[in-house]
Amino acid sequence: MNHFSIIQALCRAAIADASPAARKQIERLRDALARDGDAKSAGALSALLTNADRTRELAPSRIERSKSHLQGENLTRNTPVPVDRETSAPLADILFPSDIQPSPPLFNATVSAAIETIIEEWANYDALSQIDLRPSKTCLMYGAPGTGKTRLALWMAHRLDLPVVLVKLDGLVSSFLGTTARNIGNLFTFANRHRCVLLLDEFDAIAKVRDDPQEVGEIKRVVNALLQNLDARRDAGFTIGITNHPKLLDPAVWRRFEVQLEIPRPDFGMRKAIAAHFMPPIEAPDSHLRLIAWFTEGATGAEIESLVRTYKKATALRDEDRRGLLDTLRQFATLNAARIESERRALLFDDSANLFRAMKSDPILGFSMADIGEIAGKDKSTVSRQLGRVARSTEAEGSDG
């Protein structure tokens, strides 16, 4: 759609006041776009609505004021990024708030509240200063791959309206260990000179090479450089570190971070919310979202996103025929064998009556006959007959023995 970015900005401004009328019109626009086949724009509006539901936008003036407490030059798209002297490869990517997806990743209430606290502290910089306190300036996020850590860090920078200096430490350490300490120094100098969030992703890369006996002396120098630079940056700006392997990190590195935030795998409710988040513009019945959440016990947000993508493709191709969910789940269970809880996985390939019975009896799912019918593409009396047959044959087996 022409000029969609302006329309999107208008919608964002309108919904910031939380007016029900604005919300209604944005929903109308989203539905109309979806009907016209403009899935991308409809998805962007859905994300905007979800975002408005989940987060109370901080007033821009408060964020502006908190930003002004960060010293330094403004980064622009023309600012030269430091490079490795030997290879000339850039040492960081710069992302601006407008490059970052504005909708937040979804976490349970405890994690969301913790994140909100950090952002609130920045928005209330003045009030904290009056009692001689500063907002948290260093945050370490850790958790399994695909739980949304990088997306969360970028989104926090977006909320603070600051550009991100994104450093992938695994790339930095790589085969040029001899120059790593110097590269780290150059990067921190660059980040400290500008107003930004410094994001150190794949933090464990440094710890991993520590075990290489040939590199002991060198890696000590690298860890020391990192510690010194983290200390020197304390008052210069906000730093986020991310790792999948917290146990590999040097205790001295851990201590440098004021906030240590564990990003958990999503529980049933969050898995359902994540499935719903990635679903637009396809509208899935609630029973489908619940079943997706049920079968993805132990999975991460990234895995649910990929399952939903498969489901959407299948639904779009099959049009009105909704029976595709079980096929999609079977496909997912085959390709992600180790990630799905084994009993639930076995059920998918079992006799359908046994599967329906397990669904019917699980209180978390809370399925009615009609829900099961919706999933199986059968009417509810056919489903009850099938279930009745299983119940009878189980009773008969019981009396035989």
Rule CB under 6 A: which residues touch ligand ATP? Answer: 105-107, 145-151, 244, 266, 274, 277, 300-302, 305
Residue 255's alpha-carbon distances to 140, 223, 245, 258, in angstroms, are 10, 13, 16, 7
The minimum distance between CB 255 and ligand ATP, in angstroms, equals: 22
Angle formed at CA 243 by CA 241 and CA 246, multiple of 5 degrees: 110
Cβ nearer to Mg ion, comparing 149 with 312 = 149
Stretch that binds Mg ion, among 62-70, 146-154, 278-286, 352-360 (CB under 5 A): 146-154
Q: State how far the Cα of 192 lies from the Cα of 195, in Å rounded to an integer.
A: 7
Q: Give the residue at shortest CB distance from ligand ATP.
A: 301
Closest approach of Cβ 163 to Mg ion, in Å? 18
Closer CB to Mg ion, 151 or 182, in the complex: 151
The residue whose two tokens read 């930095």 is 172
- Selection from Mg ion, ligand ATP, none that 296 binds (CB < 5 to 8 A by kind) is none
353 binds, among ligand ATP, Mg ion, none (CB under 5 to 8 A by kind): none
Residues with Cβ < 8 Å from 131, sequence gap 6 or more? none
Q: How far apart are CA 330 and CA 333, in angstroms?
A: 5
Does position 192 interact with Mg ion (CB under 5 A)? The reply is no
- Whole-number minimum distance, CB 167 to ligand ATP, in Å? 13
DSSP secondary structure code for residue 296 in this structure: T
Q: How far is the CB of 386 from ligand ATP (least distance, A)?
A: 36
For the bound state, the minimum distance from the C-beta of residue 302 to Mg ion, rounded and expressed in Å, comes to 9
Q: 332 contacts which partner out of ligand ATP, Mg ion, none, CB within 5 to 8 A by kind?
A: none
- Single residue of 150, 239, 296, 386 touching Mg ion by CB under 5 A: 150
Tell me which of ligand ATP, Mg ion, none is bound by residue 107, counting a contact when its beta carbon lies within the kind-specific cut-off of 5 to 8 angstroms.
ligand ATP
The enclosing H or E element of 198 equals strand 197-201
Please count the residues of this chain forming the interface with Mg ion, following the rule CB under 5 A: 1
Long-range own/partner contacts, residues 301-305 (CB < 8 A, 24 or more apart)? 301/105, 301/106, 301/146, 301/147, 301/148, 301/266, 301/274, 302/145, 302/146, 302/147, 302/148, 303/146, 303/336, 303/339, 304/266, 304/271, 304/274, 304/275, 304/278, 305/274, 305/278
Q: How far is the CB of 304 from ligand ATP (least distance, A)?
A: 8
Query: Where do contacts with Mg ion occur on this chain (CB under 5 A)?
Result: 150
